[in-house]
Structure 1
Amino acid sequence: MMERGDDLVERQREHFNSIAGRYQSARRGDNHLHLKHRLWDDVFSDLVDFRDKQIDVLEPMCGFCDGLDILSHHLSKNLTYKGFDYSDAVVETVRRQRPGIDVSQADATKYRAPDNAFDVIILIGGLHHTPSNAAQIVANLVPTLRQGGIFVSFEPTHGNPIFRKVREQIYRKNSLFDEETEQAFPVHALIQLFKATGLKSRKVLYPGLVSYVLYYNPDAFPGLNVGGRRLVDATYAFDKLFYTNLVGRALSFATLSVWTKP
């Protein structure tokens, strides 16, 4: 019998609690951090209207607060931050390791915040953990964004049926994933999910190519973490040739998009 929505959310909480330590420790490696720096520096390079400004930030499904680190390094250090996650193990760890950070436990499928409270919402790799509720989660979050604010999304996607099958096989075989709850989006479905809320696209990138496969998920594929910074730079430079075109869309394992509230 198929599990109900609340049961699936709870299953995902228990799963992430079980792999949280493994997830965090793997993402401290030099290759991963270098690729992350290169990628996000490019993403925010032209968002001059937010550069070094005072901004209020919400990070739903925040995990270990990647979004906070990314924004403070690449957009503005002058920010106020609120994050929430459903994993009690993650929230407890963040509070212990980063005292003073405003992080709480909350269910993204039920979370509500005051309207027009935030300049930036950043949601990294969270929606695919609750795919059946993803549209509702985004619809609930958009009213909290101020006019002219941005919603930054980075999610696993597939642009062709072969890559969809590859990911489904990985989800079945790799204990880091829970195949019962996690599901990547077709590119068009993810984009439509944001458009349906009235948000306007500021940029859509397809960075889930060679460098992403090798270095962005070292916890999932430790055997692919080969070479050093030179190879990270070389594969990233190659990938950038396809970031915004149809080839990248078809072959990318992830979509990074920035949306604005008109």
Structure 2
Amino acid sequence: MADQDLRERQREHFNSIAGRYQAARRNANHLLLKDLMWAHALRGMDRFRGQKVEVLEPLCGFADGKSIIERYLCDNVEYSGYDYSEKVIELLKDQHPQINCWTADATKFDPLPGHYDIVILLGGLHHVPDYAALVVEKSARALKPGGIFINLEPTSGNVVSRKIREAIYRRNSLFDERTERDFGCGELFAMFENAGLRRLRITHPGLLSYVLYYNPDAFPRLNLGGLGAVRRAFSVDKPFLESAIGRFFSFATLSVWERPLQATSASG
């Protein structure tokens, strides 16, 4: 299938599931898990407190990145976001008429270079896997020196977890196996390093609590128990979030990168 056909297939697929996807992301267990994940991953990152920050969210979905940054990093945010799905943008604007968001193809759109303090991209690269490195490069160029790039993506640390995800993608209508795939951690990290970014923090939250509560739309039978169960599951995961064991077993990786204030030379 031609590249344009694949992108169109992905656009049509997400248009078809947009309402279902959004509704499930309001589930109380899911929201608590996200709070625990992000509070842990962004702890101590206070460089933007008291400042007005320019934020770009490529492949923005329902602008989760905006609320994450306002909650954990800075409450004075000038937000911009774009997505390939016009249905997603329509729903987002219906609910938040003042939000600055638009429809664009991340593989083609060039954001303003050196304009943004923060780029946040949540679960978007695996929808354009053949162009993921290009999207990272374009988005990294949009950062000011000293700006940060926050990313959350499906990853596989071993062959078994990759096979499990591939089987899920084939069988679950929420996903489209023709246009989506996860990344190995090394493959994902190389995209950011090749774009000239420096690693600040890596966590691997895709463990027990993620499997049970992060995708209630895809796996409603796993959404067991209430908020106490979510907290207990996350407490089991917490010792492993930055470990090699966590990386091996995790189904997702959350990473934070920085555009250096001064480019380093090849000779160091």
SS in 2 for 1:241: helix
2:243 aligned with 1:241, yes or no? Answer: no
Cα distance between partner residues in 1 of 2:155 and 2:94 = 33
Q: Which residue of 180, 183, 197 corresponds with 1:182?
A: 180
Instruction: Kindly report which structure 2 residues correspond to 1:28-177, keeping only aligned pairs within 5 A, or say none.
Output: 28-177=26-175
Task: Describe the superposition over 1:78-110 as per-residue Cα deviations: whole angstroms up to 9, x where unpaired.
Answer: 010000000000111111110100000000000
Q: Which amino acid aligns with 1:19?
A: I
Aligned 1:171-210 pairs, distance under 5 A: 171-210=169-208
Q: Distance in 1 between matches of 2:48 and 2:42?
A: 9
Question: Which residue in the other structure is 2:266 paired with?
Answer: none
Counterpart amino acid of 2:8?
E
Q: CA deviation at 1:75?
A: 1.3
Conservation of the 8 A alpha-carbon contact between 1:115 and 1:145: yes
SS at match of 2:240: coil
Report the AA paired with residue 5 of structure 2: D
- Deviation by residue 1:209-238 (Cα, 9 ceiling, x = unmatched): 000001111111111001111111111111
Deviates more, 1:251-260 or 1:49-58: 49-58
Query: Following TM superposition, by how much is the alpha carbon of 1:198 offset from its aligned partner in structure 2, in angstroms?
Result: 1.0
With 153-162 and 5-14 compared, the bigger mean Cα shift is at: 5-14
User: 2:56 & 2:101 partners in 1: Cα distance?
Assistant: 10
| Residue number among 6, 23, 27 corresponding to 1:8 in the alignment | 6
Structure 1, unmatched stretches of 5+, are none
1:225 — aligned with what?
223
Output the amino acid matched with 1:86: Y
Read off the aligned partner of 2:128 and give its amino acid letter.
Answer: T
Size of the alignment, in residue pairs? 260
Q: Alpha-carbon deviations, 1:155-194, whole Å to 9, x = none?
A: 0000000010000000000000000000000111001111
* Matched-pair contact (CA < 8 Å) for 1:52–1:75: no
Asked whether 1:253 is paired with 2:227, we answer no
- TM-score, length basis structure 2: 0.96
| Secondary structure of residue in 2 paired with 1:113 | coil
Q: State how far apart, in whole Å, the 2-side matches of 1:261 and 1:58 are.
A: 15
TM-score of the superposed pair, with normalisation by structure 1: 0.98
The worse-fitting range, judged by mean Cα deviation, of 235-244 and 41-50 is: 41-50
Deviation per CA, 1:40-72: give whole Å up to 9, x if none: 112222111123421100000000111011111
SS at match of 1:179: coil
Displaced runs of 4 or more, over 2 A? none
Counterpart-to-counterpart distance in 2, 1:114 and 1:230: 44
The percent of aligned pairs where both chains have the same amino acid is: 50
